[in-house]
């Protein structure tokens, strides 16, 4: 709808929290009057957005300058993955003021978006009213700020929210997602938060003293060797990357519940790694393998070993998943789900008070830790001598 406005005045745009590119803003007083225009005026744009990239938000963080709009695809809503179909409306008033969303941008990592007050209520109502779980979110006039050292976006009183087919930018983003299906890979709620960096020994100590639960850590380690003679991939669900189970005539996904899942080959490579204190085996799963070789598992066939040769000697920061299996196994074998970045081993700690030559057994990872074909009994009994010093 289009209106005419009379009895208004103009003033200079505020220095803080700009919501438009114009130098002047229109100010409405008690004498102002709005009248609806009955005929259509095609020359006037009905909507306009200032969509910015992750790099722009990073550059303008904490400057209290322009407020831009953001569009991306939803990953988590209040910690819940979309496949869980969360219901957001609640009678608990204490929970109604804020919603935290993990939003994936085209050009950057997953970013936290905090919706407050009216923006929270509008989002919840729209989200629950959708027949299908929404995929794309646009939030207007967000304020980039750093919380706990991490870039976040916070809604303002002027912020509005739009989902999927509501406006042109969300429609265009949906079209982009349709042609880039890899952008919608599932994200674990724990993996998108900041992980604590621990050594191999510290992760082993955590497993010994904590109750059995899934946890994620970052670990800096150097690749020492690639294990040969075992299956280096597993058959996964194309949608959620979970290992598929064989049914009578189809492949079944235990996570999605899909009884006719589309299969894709995912990495599952065993590597010997070490840091300044310890040596153990990392099981490289999924995209972590692609980050080392630059190629998908389906592209390697029988040449996977050659592709990993260049990785030997490299030091990386790995995202480690500790699963319930680790709490029952007597052998230290950790699952790496992601290569966070290249890294350098931190300064060496004082020598541990353990005899030289202490053996650490290498074992396969049980299906509960991410899947894969089991090694033979002889391979399970293999041992390596821990690096001394």
Q: Are residues 200 and 175 in the same domain?
A: no
Q: Are residues 153 and 227 in the same domain?
A: no
Q: How far apart are CA 209 and CA 202, in angstroms?
A: 11
Q: What is the DSSP string of 280-330?
A: EEEEEETHHHHHHHSS-GGGTTT-HHHHHHTTTT-EEEEEEEE-HHHHH-S
CA angle 125, 128, 134 (to 5 degrees): 110
Q: Are residues 378 and 299 in the same domain?
A: yes
Q: Are residues 268 and 167 in the same domain?
A: no
pLDDT score recorded for residue 113: 92
CB 317 within 8 A of CB 343: yes
What is the total count of domains within the chain?
3
> Would you say residue 251 lies in a domain?
yes
Q: Are residues 248 and 165 in the same domain?
A: no
pLDDT score recorded for residue 387: 47
Classified as helix, coil or strand, 359 is strand
Q: Are residues 211 and 172 in the same domain?
A: no
Q: Are residues 242 and 314 in the same domain?
A: yes
pLDDT score recorded for residue 45: 59
> Would you say residue 138 lies in a domain?
yes
> Would you say residue 326 lies in a domain?
yes
Q: Residue 252 class from Cβ within 10 Å (0-12 exposed, 13-18 middle, 19+ buried)?
A: middle
Q: Are residues 175 and 248 in the same domain?
A: no
pLDDT score recorded for residue 361: 37
Domain with residue 133: its CATH number is 2.40.50.140
> Would you say residue 42 lies in a domain?
no
Q: Are residues 307 and 327 in the same domain?
A: yes
CB 195 within 8 A of CB 298: no
Q: Are residues 321 and 289 in the same domain?
A: yes
**At 174, phi and psi to the nearest 5?**
-60, -40
> Would you say residue 45 lies in a domain?
no
CB 155 within 8 A of CB 115: yes
Q: Are residues 220 and 317 in the same domain?
A: yes
pLDDT score recorded for residue 18: 57
Q: Are residues 30 and 157 in the same domain?
A: no
> Would you say residue 47 lies in a domain?
no
CB 251 within 8 A of CB 245: yes
> Would you say residue 378 lies in a domain?
yes
Helix (H) or strand (E) holding 59: helix 54-59
pLDDT score recorded for residue 370: 37
- Given 184, 206, 237, the domain boundary residue is 184
* pLDDT means over runs of 10, the chain (389 residues): 79 65 76 80 67 82 80 85 66 62 83 89 88 90 80 89 92 89 65 76 86 81 80 70 74 71 76 89 78 71 67 89 80 84 77 42 33 35 42
pLDDT score recorded for residue 70: 93
Q: How far is CA 324 from CA 84, 267, 310, in A?
A: 22, 21, 32
Give the structural domain span for 102.
Answer: 54-184
Residue 295 exposure: Cα atoms within 13 Å on the Cβ side = 12
Note the residue count of the chain: 389
pLDDT score recorded for residue 31: 87
> Would you say residue 380 lies in a domain?
yes
């Amino acid at each position: 709808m289009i209106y005419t406005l009379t009895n208004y005045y103009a003033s200079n745009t505020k220095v803080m929290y700009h919501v438009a590119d114009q130098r002047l803003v229109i100010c409405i007083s008690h004498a102002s009057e709005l009248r609806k225009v009955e005929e259509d005026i095609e020359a006037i744009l009905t909507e306009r957005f200032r969509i910015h990239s992750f790099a722009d938000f990073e550059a303008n963080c904490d400057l209290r300058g322009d407020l831009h709009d953001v569009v991306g695809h939803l990953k988590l809503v209040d910690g819940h993955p979309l496949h869980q179909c969360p219901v957001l409306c609640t009678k608990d008033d204490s929970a109604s003021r804020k919603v935290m969303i993990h939003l994936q941008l085209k050009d950057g990592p997953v970013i936290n978006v905090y919706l407050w007050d009216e923006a929270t209520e509008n989002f919840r109502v729209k989200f629950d009213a959708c027949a299908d779980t929404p995929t794309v979110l646009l939030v207007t006039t967000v304020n980039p700020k750093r919380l706990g050292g991490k870039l976040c976006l916070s809604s303002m009183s002027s912020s509005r929210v739009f989902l999927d087919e509501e406006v042109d930018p969300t429609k265009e983003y949906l079209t982009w997602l349709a042609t880039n299906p890899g952008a919608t890979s599932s994200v674990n709620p724990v993996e998108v938060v900041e992980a604590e960096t621990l050594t191999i020994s510290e992760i082993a100590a955590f497993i010994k003293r904590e109750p059995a639960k899934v946890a994620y850590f970052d670990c800096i380690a150097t690749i020492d060797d690639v294990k040969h003679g075992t299956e280096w991939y597993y058959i996964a669900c194309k949608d959620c990357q979970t290992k598929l189970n064989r049914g009578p005539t189809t492949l079944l996904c235990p996570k999605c519940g899909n009884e006719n899942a589309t299969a894709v080959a995912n990495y599952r490579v065993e590597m010997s790694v070490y840091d300044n204190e310890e040596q153990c085996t990392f099981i490289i799963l999924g995209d972590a393998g692609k980050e080392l070789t630059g190629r998908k598992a389906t592209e390697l066939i029988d040449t996977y070993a050659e592709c990993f040769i260049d990785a030997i000697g490299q030091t990386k920061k790995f995202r480690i998943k500790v699963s319930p299996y680790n709490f029952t196994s007597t052998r230290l074998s950790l699952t790496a789900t992601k290569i966070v970045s290249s890294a350098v081993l931190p300064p060496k700690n004082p020598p541990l008070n353990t005899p030289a030559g202490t053996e650490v057994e290498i074992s396969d990872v049980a299906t509960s830790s991410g899947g894969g074909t089991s090694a033979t009994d002889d391979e399970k009994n293999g041992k390596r001598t821990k690096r001394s010093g």
